[in-house]
Structure 1
Amino acid sequence: MSLETWIAFVAASSILLVIPGPTILLVVSYALGQGWRAALPLSIGVALGDFTAMTLSMLGIGALLATSATLFTVLKLLGAAYLIWLGVKLWRAGDEMKVEAVTSPAAAGRMTAHAWLVTALNPKSITFFVAFLPQFLDHKGDFWTQMAVFEATFLTLAFANAFGYGLVASRARRLVRSPRVIRGVNRTGGSLLIGAGLLTATTRAA
């Protein structure tokens, strides 16, 4: 793999990651509710979710999802239902800032699991990696070495991107003090997550 190819991969990945999706909506919503303490476990969950999606793509599951409408639909509906459940939970938080308090390793673990599931249960991510990664592979080079480099690079970028969004949201949290504003933030975030779940549910495989 040439340095130019790696730089092109970094540039393309950075552009794709910075565009907010369901995962970033989750990170922002939780960071607004809990503050900077939520940024780290959520970012770890995002990286693990992307690692799952990339590994499944590498193992050929992405190609299977692209050809099996039933499998794609099942995974898609699971992910959509989870997003909607999280959105309803946030909506019902009302004027409470603490959506999930990071008061123990167990609480941080649950938050990491939320982010991992939202990221990993997106079949579009898996099929996307199937189409995206081959563009940068050198077919004359060692496949596994290249995949290790690409995965490490993408996961580092995904972690940094989610962590950055989380820190920005936690900064904005300081401006959110009144119960009315807090309620509005929770309901807006909840509505966006529910909308993302509905959008995911209506997304077609191709």
Structure 2
Amino acid sequence: MVMQEFAMLAAAHWLALVSPGPDFLLLLRSALRHGRRNGIGASLGIACANGVYIALALAGFSLLQRSPAALTVMKLLAAAYLAYIGWSFMQAGRAAPPVMAGEGAGMERGGFLRGFVAGFLSGGLNPKNGLFYLGLFTLMVGAGTGMHIKLWYGLWMFTAVFVWDAGLVLAVSNARVAGWIARYFARAEWLAGVILLLGGTMLAMTVVLAV
């Protein structure tokens, strides 16, 4: 019974994990613009932000769900952050493309901590993460499942997020893969920035109109 429950939970989590979103765009940019250390830091930051929401879901409560005011504030913060990173992507996309040869000398190097903060903000300021994990545990985990099993589920999901994101960073920062991306990266980065900026603006407008 536990293995069946775990399989369903893992499959749903995996489908959500591999779906491209703001975190994916941030990881791609971190690896190609600032190097592997920055990208791995962003991966850990995203995993830790997910870990916070997993812990809240395991505790059996959700501040976001119980407090409409907190949810509104979180959405506005998320909208502002999406718009900010979108603008940053657009500005960087107009510049010369980065050196795409692993850890090239011309790369704008960024530290591990800088990447971690960016990743944590990206994952933490997304209220959908909190609602996703709460829904996942509510719908797919039985009431009789022990806390030690639930903790195992949470640890597995935290690890899966980090391993997937770090693997993505290592893959795209590989010299061969990075060289192939180099021809399209600047345009793709600018387009991703436009999408994120519009997404942040639309989210803010939706929240303001709903108040």
- TM class by shorter chain equals 0.7 to 0.9
Which 4+ runs in 1 deviate beyond 6 A? none
Is 1:47–1:155's contact at 8 Å kept on the other side of the alignment? yes
Give the direction of change, closer, same or farther, for the CA distance of 1:24–1:87 in structure 2 (3 Å limit): same
Q: In structure 1, which of residues 138, 144, 154 is the aligned counterpart of residue 142 of structure 2?
A: 138
Q: What is the deviation of 1:149?
A: 0.8
Unaligned runs of 5+ in 1: none
Equivalent residue for 1:50?
Answer: 50
Q: Pairwise CA RMSD of aligned residues?
A: 2.6
Give the direction of change, closer, same or farther, for the CA distance of 1:200–1:125 in structure 2 (3 Å limit): farther
| Superposition TM-score, scaled by structure 2 size | 0.79
Residue 147 (structure 1) aligned with residue 150 (structure 2): yes
Q: What is the deviation of 1:67?
A: 4.3
Give the direction of change, closer, same or farther, for the CA distance of 1:169–1:188 in structure 2 (3 Å limit): farther
Structure 1 Cα separation of the partners of residues 66 and 91 of structure 2: 38
Equivalent residue for 1:119?
Answer: 123
Residue 7 (structure 1) aligned with residue 7 (structure 2): yes
Structure 2 Cα separation of the partners of residues 162 and 89 of structure 1: 21
Q: What is the deviation of 1:27?
A: 0.8
Equivalent residue for 1:173?
Answer: 178
Equivalent residue for 2:162?
Answer: 159
Is 1:29–1:189's contact at 8 Å kept on the other side of the alignment? no
Instruction: Identify which range, 134-143 or 146-155, moves more after superposition.
Output: 134-143
In the alignment of these two chains, the number of paired residues is 197
Equivalent residue for 1:95?
Answer: 96
Structure 1 Cα separation of the partners of residues 50 and 134 of structure 2: 13
Structure 2 Cα separation of the partners of residues 156 and 136 of structure 1: 19
Unaligned runs of 5+ in 2: 99-105
Structure 1, residues 153-182: CA drift from partner, whole Å, max 9, x if none? 11111112212332343244323556xx55
